[in-house]
């Protein structure tokens, strides 16, 4: 068992801490936000993530998971320190490393013996070396020759299935610079490795790049199918069958070939921008990544056009919107297509009634500036009452089970925009709706 400190108790930090406790480690999660730490000690989880609450409570109860605001003691008492703080996008598209390097400084301040410092946050290539240099500079100024290692161990967690993704990942990536660090990190992940999950052990730079290359590739894959979907609409082809036909080729795989209103979330948009910036900084523009970012913005605007082209003037019309989070099983609205789409619809004069099973709290904040035009409802049936059209932006499973006859009776109009392709055209049209989806 290793003693691990996780600095930053946000989404990644908390999931990582709870899951490492599940692997048998003794973990201390640190955050400077006192209210968050006190809440966690009382079993209040600040984010919506299936399974996280039970895991946190279980290991807190068994004293394998601790919470503190005291980074000094946590650093002193731990052998492995994970950096899991935010790396927001700066104006120029690059990732802001302020918090990461601040943690590095804190570690250097309190280091009291050999430590392994692990970058868990998604950081651009070169950050591991920067962390190392930051700590080294501070130590050498104090004539302190304590040794330490820096490791890059990127995460591949999807919101909504983060616990499972951590416990049973496809691979565990370790960027290491010493045999000692490799040995300890292999021990930390001995449980999943014992279940057959492979390690990829490489240098810091390669590990950092694997994360960006993987995320940008998935963003590109979604964008590709979105573009094929748009073309399908013009030529009378069905994108669902195309994705199926493509996906049967094992080299392509059927995953991440669902067309929609554009990708969102805390990772893909941010990571694609950061990778594009790294390319530009190295005088090697990544044209596909640059175009992915542009095409994803265009996709959201295509959805807006699809609504206004079909409904005509939106002034005074009301849309019942089902789902505003960037995907189901999360309350996260970061970069959600709904942010751009609803704002544009309101600007065109529409009124919006929204229902989202988890996104109301965040949605109220995000749409506060247009709150006189955006009403939140307690369920899907209230949201579609007396509206001119229904608009599905997130594929929450419950929307698939909606009573179509009932909503048809409750609605004023008959426009049905299914931008996640959760229904079959024939079934919706049979109820008397005018059906619009993506690429079919
Ligand atoms: C992603 C990566 O999957 C994960 O490995 C990484 O660590 C963080 O970023 P996440 O953002 O939680 O995870 O969601 P994901 O399920 O990957 O979906 C991202 C976006 O792409 C969503 O907006 C989703 O709706 C969209 N998407 C996904 C599609 O439009 N079509 C698809 O086929 C798949």
410 lines ligand 1 (CB under 6 A): no
Residue 132 assigned to a binding site: no
Is the distance from CB of 304 to CB of 345 less than 8 angstroms? yes
Q: Residue 158 CA: which ligand 1 atom is closest?
A: 12
263 lines ligand 1 (CB under 6 A): yes
CA 236 to chain centre: 33
Residue nearest to atom 11 of ligand 1 (CA): 265
Q: What is the largest CA-CA distance in the chain?
A: 78
- Sequence-distant (6+) residues with CB within 8 A of 289 are 216, 220, 272, 275, 276, 279
Q: What's the CA gap between 244 and 223, in Å, rounded?
A: 16
The Å distance, Cα 398 to ligand 1 centre, comes to 20
Residue nearest to atom 2 of ligand 1 (CA): 158
Site to probe by mutation for ligand 1, drawn from 86, 120, 243, 260 as the one with most ligand atoms within 8 Å of Cβ, is 260
User: Which residue is listed with tokens 């951590």?
Assistant: 166
- Sequence-distant (6+) residues with CB within 8 A of 248 are 254
Residue 408 assigned to a binding site: no
262 lines ligand 1 (CB under 6 A): no
Q: What does the pLDDT read at residue 143?
A: 95
Annotated catalytic residue 232: no
Q: Residue 159 CA: which ligand 1 atom is closest?
A: 12
Q: State how beta strands 26-30 and 434-436 pair.
A: unpaired
Residue 362 assigned to a binding site: no
Q: What's the CA gap between 170 and 208, in Å, rounded?
A: 17
User: Which residue is listed with tokens 């209103």?
Assistant: 261
Residue nearest to atom 21 of ligand 1 (CA): 263
Residue nearest to atom 20 of ligand 1 (CA): 263
Site to probe by mutation for ligand 1, drawn from 268, 274, 439 as the one with most ligand atoms within 8 Å of Cβ, is 268
Catalytic residue among 232, 267, 377, 437: 267
Q: What does the pLDDT read at residue 48?
A: 85
Q: What does the pLDDT read at residue 89?
A: 86
Residue nearest to atom 26 of ligand 1 (CA): 263
The Å distance, Cα 161 to ligand 1 centre, comes to 11
Q: What's the CA gap between 123 and 54, in Å, rounded?
A: 29
The Å distance, Cα 264 to ligand 1 centre, comes to 7
Q: Residue 316 is encoded by which pair of tokens?
A: 């005074």
Domains, the chain: 3-202 (3.40.50.720), 212-440 (3.40.50.720)
Rounded to two decimals, the pTM is 0.94
For residue 378, count CB atoms less than 10 angstroms from its CB and return exposed for 0-12, middle for 13-18, buried for 19 or more.
Answer: exposed
326 lines ligand 1 (CB under 6 A): yes
User: Which residue is listed with tokens 């709870």?
Assistant: 18
Site to probe by mutation for ligand 1, drawn from 155, 229, 265 as the one with most ligand atoms within 8 Å of Cβ, is 265
pLDDT per residue, tens digit, the chain (440 aa), is 899 999 999 999 999 999 999 999 999 999 999 999 999 999 999 988 999 999 999 999 999 999 999 999 999 999 999 999 999 889 998 889 999 999 999 999 999 999 999 999 889 999 999 999 999 999 999 999 999 999 999 999 999 899 999 999 999 999 999 999 999 999 999 999 999 999 999 999 999 999 999 999 999 999 999 999 999 999 999 999 999 999 999 999 999 999 999 999 999 999 999 999 999 999 999 999 999 999 999 999 999 999 999 999 999 999 999 999 999 988 999 999 999 999 999 999 999 999 999 999 999 999 999 999 999 999 999 999 999 999 999 999 999 999 999 999 999 999 999 999 999 999 999 999 999 999 99
Residue 385 assigned to a binding site: no
Residue 323 assigned to a binding site: no
Residue 363 assigned to a binding site: no
User: In this structure, what are the phi and psi dihedrals at residue 98, rounded to the nearest 5 degrees?
Assistant: -50, -50
Q: What does the pLDDT read at residue 94?
A: 87
Site to probe by mutation for ligand 1, drawn from 156, 267, 292 as the one with most ligand atoms within 8 Å of Cβ, is 267
308 lines ligand 1 (CB under 6 A): no
Is the distance from CB of 70 to CB of 27 less than 8 angstroms? no
The Å distance, Cα 311 to ligand 1 centre, comes to 30
């Amino acid at each position: 068992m290793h003693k691990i400190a996780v600095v930053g108790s946000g989404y990644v930090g908390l999931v990582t801490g709870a899951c490492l406790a599940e692997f048998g480690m003794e973990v201390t999660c640190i955050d400077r936000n006192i209210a968050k730490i006190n809440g966690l000690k009382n079993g209040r989880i600040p984010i919506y993530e299936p399974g996280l609450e039970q895991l946190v409570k279980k290991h807190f109860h068994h004293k394998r998971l601790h919470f503190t605001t005291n980074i000094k003691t946590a650093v002193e008492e731990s052998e492995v320190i994970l950096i899991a703080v935010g790396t927001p996008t700066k104006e120029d598209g690059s990732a802001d490393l302020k918090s990461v390097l601040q943690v590095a400084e804190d570690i250097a301040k309190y280091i009291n013996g050999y430590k392994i410092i692990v970058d868990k946050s998604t950081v651009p290539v070169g950050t591991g070396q920067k962390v190392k240099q930051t700590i080294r500079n501070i130590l050498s100024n104090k004539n302190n020759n304590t040794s330490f290692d820096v490791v890059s161990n990127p995460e591949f967690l999807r919101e909504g299935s983060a616990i499972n993704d951590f416990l049973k990942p496809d691979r565990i990536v370790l960027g290491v610079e010493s045999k000692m660090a490799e040995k300890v990190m292999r021990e930390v992940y001995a449980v999943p490795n014992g279940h057959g999950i492979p390690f990829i052990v490489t240098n810091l730079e390669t590990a950092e790049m694997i994360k960006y290359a993987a995320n940008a590739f998935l963003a590109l894959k979604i964008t590709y199918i979105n573009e094929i979907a748009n073309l399908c609409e013009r030529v009378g082809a069905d994108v669902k069958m195309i994705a199926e036909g493509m996906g049967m080729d094992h080299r392509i795989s059927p995953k991440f070939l669902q067309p929609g209103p554009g990708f969102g979330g805390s990772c893909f948009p941010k990571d694609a921008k950061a990778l594009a910036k790294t390319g530009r900084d190295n005088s090697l523009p990544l044209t596909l990544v640059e175009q992915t970012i542009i095409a994803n913005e265009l996709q959201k605007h295509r959805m807006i056009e699809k609504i206004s082209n079909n409904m005509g003037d939106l002034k005074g019309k009301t849309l019942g919107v089902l789902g505003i989070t960037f995907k189901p099983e999360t309350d996260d609205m970061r970069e959600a297509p709904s942010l751009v789409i609803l704002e544009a619809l309101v600007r065109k004069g529409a009124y919006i009634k929204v229902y989202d099973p988890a996104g109301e709290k965040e949605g109220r904040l995000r749409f506060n500036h247009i709150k006189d035009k955006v009403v939140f409802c307690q369920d899907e049936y209230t949201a579609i009452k007396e509206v001119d059209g229904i608009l599905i932006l997130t594929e929450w499973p419950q929307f698939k089970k909606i009573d179509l006859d009932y909503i048809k009776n409750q609605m004023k109009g008959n426009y049905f925009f299914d931008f996640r392709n959760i229904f079959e055209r024939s079934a919706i049209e049979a109820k008397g709706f005018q059906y619009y989806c993506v690429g079919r």
